[in-house]
Amino acid sequence: GAGVSQSPSNKVTEKGKDVELRCDPISGHTALYWYRQRLGQGLEFLIYFQGNSAPDKSGLPSDRFSAERTGGSVSTLTIQRTQQEDSAVYLCASSSPGTGLNQPQHFGDGTRLSIL
Amino acid sequence: KQEVTQIPAALSVPEGENLVLNCSFTDSAIYNLQWFRQDPGKGLTSLLLIQSSQREQTSGRLNASLDKSSGRSTLYIAASQPGDSATYLCAVKWGSARQLTFGSGTQLTVLP
């Protein structure tokens, strides 16, 4: 079946502009995660959704970052007034309800964001 | 602080060799541990997930083990092939969190 789909695959924008990144999880997956991977660094957790609610926003680096999820499916990560340090690959993952927390996370190919 | 460490950062082996990748973690109260591979410019591909109650998981030429008491996991790759070249990431889910905490990865190169 289809995996996690992210768009755009690449985004180049000027400093100060707003950007929207989209994630379409695997059908039926209720949990959705956003991570960030800066060049040469490990993955950092940004935000977690269960259904349409976001019980854990602890990883969002500043108030310029926001995310929403509608219909328990597609999620959008928005970065306002982008800065050069926002340049990174933004990865989305989803997991099925399953039993408790013991479900693997499946990742998309990411959006490579470059801020000029 | 809950952290995941992977050593070495890079490893190069000749084709056909069996190899072991290491992952260590602080705080033994894990929920599960997941191994991924990441190819250049690509997302993460899930390889194996070990639940806290398990000691190992196997998939084809891959075998992952878990020793919670020592805070360690290993990924064993048998008869390595050039197609195995990638960065291998270890990630832990602790019971108090929903997200995964990642190590910085081991970049594996299998030479033909």
**What is the full DSSP assignment across B38-63?**
E-TTS-EEEEEEEETT-SEEEETTEE
pLDDT at A100: 54
Judge residue A80's burial from the number of C-beta atoms within 10 Å of its C-beta, 0-12 exposed, 13-18 middle, 19 or more buried: middle
- Owner of token pair 């020793």: B67
User: In this predicted structure, what is the pLDDT of residue A13?
Assistant: 96
Which residue in chain A has the smallest CA separation from B37? A107
Return the pLDDT at A83: 96
**Measured distance CA(A93)–CA(B36) in Å, rounded:** 13
A105, A111, A114: best to mutate for the B interface, most B CBs within 10 A = A105
pLDDT at B73: 98
Residue B96 confidence (pLDDT) above 60 = yes
Contacts of A4 in chain B (CB under 8 A): 43
pLDDT digits (tens, 9 = 90+) for A94-106: 998 765 557 889 9
Q: Which residues of A touch B88 (CB under 8 A)?
A: none
Q: Residue B111 — very low, low, confident or very high, per pLDDT cuts 50/70/90?
A: very high
What is the pLDDT of chain A when averaged over all its residues?
91
pLDDT digits (tens, 9 = 90+) for A15-69: 999 999 999 999 989 999 999 999 888 899 999 998 888 888 889 999 999 999 9
A71 vs B: CB within 8 A = no
What's the pLDDT tens digit per position in B49-92? 999 999 999 999 999 999 999 999 999 999 999 999 999 999 99
pLDDT at B41: 82
Q: Does A108 touch chain B (CB under 8 A)?
A: yes
Mean pLDDT across A63-81: 94
Q: How many CB pairs under 8 A join A and B?
A: 60
DSSP one-letter string for A37-72? E-TTS-EEEEEEEETTEEEE-TT--STTEEEEE-TT
Of all residues in chain A, the one with the smallest CA distance to B106 is A42
Return the pLDDT at A98.
62
Q: What is the pLDDT of residue A2?
A: 81
The pLDDT tens digits for B2-55 are: 899 999 999 999 999 999 999 999 988 899 999 999 998 888 999 999 999 999
Q: Which of B42, B54, B99 best probes binding to A when mutated, by most A CB atoms within 10 angstroms?
A: B99
Say yes or no to pLDDT of A1 above 70.
no
Distance in angstroms (rounded) separating the CA atoms of residues A29 and B82: 34
